[in-house]
Amino acid sequence: MNLSLFSPQIVLGIGGTLLFLFEAFASERGRSFLPTLTLLILALSGVLMWKSYGEIGVLFSGMVVYDRFFVFFGTLVLLGSFLAVSFSRPSLQQQDAFRGEYYALVLFSVLGMTLLISAANMIIVFLGMEIMSLPLYIMAAMRRGSERSVEAGAKYFLMGAFASGFLLYGIALVYGATGTLSIEEIARVWPRGAGFSSLGVAGMLLIVIGLAFKIAAVPFHMWEPDAYEGAPTAVTAFFAAGPKIAGFAILLRLVSWAFSFSDPVILRIVWMLAALSMTVGNFLALTQSSVKRMLAYSGIAHAGYALVGLVVGGTVAIGLVGYYLLGYLLASVGAFAVIATLEKSQERSLSFADCAGKGKTNPGLTLVLTLFLISLAGIPPVAGFVAKFYIFEQALQHGFVWLVIIAAVNSIVSVYYYLRTPVYAFMKTGEETNPDIRISAGLVFTLVVAALGTIIVGISPEYFIKLASSSVMWFF
C-alpha cells in the first residue's frame, strides 16, 4: 500500500489539528498568522495531490481510491478553498466573525471533501460527508451575536441531518440488495439484478436524495438561501467553492459508475432534478433584493445546469460537468469576494440599491464583479458561456431537446437578475464616497486569479475540458 497517495489528506488532518492547538495557545498577534498557515497547508496538500498524477492506487483494503478523478475534483476543492481563505480575514473582522478556530474548521471540512471525492466504499462516502458537513454547520453560525447567523447554522444543521439520514438509510438498502459496500463491487453486481430489485432501487433513490441536499438541487434546496445569507460572506464563498463541488463529485462517481445500469429510473430522477433546479432557482432569484441571496438562488439554478451533463452521461458529458464546475467556482468565489468588500452592515446583506453609484466610486471592484456575473449568466466569451454551450450541445446530440429548451429559457431569464447589479452600479446614482472599503493583498490575489481564470478557461477551453474528461475515463 502506497501511503504517499494519501498524503494530501494526512497533511490536511495534521494541519487542522495543529491549527486548533496553535489557536488555543497563541497570542492575539499570533492568531493573525492563521490565514497564512492555512493557505500554506492547502497549497502543500495540492502539491502532494499532483505529485503522483497519473497513478491509480486503492488504499486501506479498497476503502479509498487515488485516481485522476480524485486529483481533478480535489484540485477544484483546494483551489476554491484557497481563494476563499485568501480574502477572509478583513471580511471576517469587519463582520465581527474572525475566530481562530475558523481556519482549523476549514481544513477539516476540506479533509472531508477530499475523502468524499476519493471514496471507493460507501462507509467512506458517509464518513467523508459528515467530516465535511459538521464544520460547515459551525461556520454558518460563526457570528455568535447575530440572530441571522445562528439561525443559518441551525437550519443548515437540521437539513444536513435529514440529508445524512437519507444517505445512510440508502446505503443500508443498497448493501441489503448487493451484499457489499464497495463501489466497484456494486457496479459489478448492479446489472445482474440488484439494480432492478425494489430494495436496490429504493436505496439508490435515497442516496441520490441525500446527495441532492448537499448540492442544493430542487426540491432539496431549502437550506441554501438562508445559510448563504446568514453566514459571514467569506464563509459563504467557502460554501460555494467546496461542498457543492465535493457533492457533485461523489454524485458523478456513484450515478455514472455504480448505478449506471438503472438508466430508466435514474434518468427520470436526474432529469426532473435538473429541470426543477434550473426553473425554481432562476425564477426565485428574480424576486430577490439582496445580491447575496440572489447568488444563493442562482447557485441552485447552476446545480440544475450541471445536472444536465449527468443526464446525458458518458465520458464527454461527465467531463464537461467538471469543466462547468470549474467556471462556476471561479465566478462565484470572485463575486462573493467583491460583495464581502462592498458590504457595510453586519446585519444586512448588500442589496441592489446599495450598489447604486458604485461604478463611479469603486470602478475596479464593480467591473470585476460585472465580469463574474456575466460568466454566471452565460454571456460569451467567458467560462460560463462556453461550459453551458458544450453541455447543451451534448444534450442535443443525445436527444434531450426539451431539457435543453428549458435550460436555454432559464439562461435567458437569468440575464435579467445578473445584470441588475451592473445597471444599478453604472446607471443609478448613490453615495459619492465609501471610505470603509478595505482592499487587502489577499483580496487582490483572489480577484486577479478568479478574473484571469474566468477569461482563460473561457477563451481556451480545450485543455481544461481534456483534463476534466480524462479524469472520468477510468470508470467507464
Q: What is the pLDDT of residue 348?
A: 66
Does residue 144 register a pLDDT over 80?
no
- pTM greater than 0.85 (yes/no): yes
> What's the average model confidence in pLDDT over 36-46?
92
> What's the average model confidence in pLDDT over 17-45?
84
Does residue 224 register a pLDDT over 90?
no
Task: Give the pLDDT band (50/70/90) at residue 232.
Answer: confident
Q: What is the pLDDT of residue 129?
A: 92
CA 410 to chain centre: 21
Q: What is the pLDDT of residue 277?
A: 93
Q: What is the pLDDT of residue 471?
A: 79
Q: What is the pLDDT of residue 345?
A: 56
Cα→Cα distances 299→195, 215, 224, 304, 470, Å: 32, 9, 9, 9, 26
Does residue 346 register a pLDDT over 60?
no
> What's the average model confidence in pLDDT over 357-365?
81
Q: What is the pLDDT of residue 39?
A: 93
Q: What is the mean pLDDT of the chain?
A: 86
Task: Give the pLDDT band (50/70/90) at residue 292.
Answer: confident
Task: Give the pLDDT band (50/70/90) at residue 433.
Answer: low
Q: What are the sequence ranges of the domains in the chain?
A: 3-475
The CB-based long-range contact list for 396-400 (8 Å cut-off, 24+ gap) reads 398/312, 398/317, 400/271, 400/308, 400/311, 400/312
Does residue 351 register a pLDDT over 70?
yes
DSSP code string of 366-433: HHHHHHHHHHHHT-TTSHHHHHHHHHHHHHHHTT-HHHHHHHHHHHHHHHHHHTHHHHHHHHS---S-
Most confidently predicted of 24-33, 378-387, 445-454:
445-454
> What's the average model confidence in pLDDT over 114-129?
92
> What's the average model confidence in pLDDT over 463-471?
86
Give residue-wise pLDDT tens across range 172-187.
999 988 888 988 888 8
> What's the average model confidence in pLDDT over 152-177?
89
Task: Give the pLDDT band (50/70/90) at residue 189.
Answer: confident
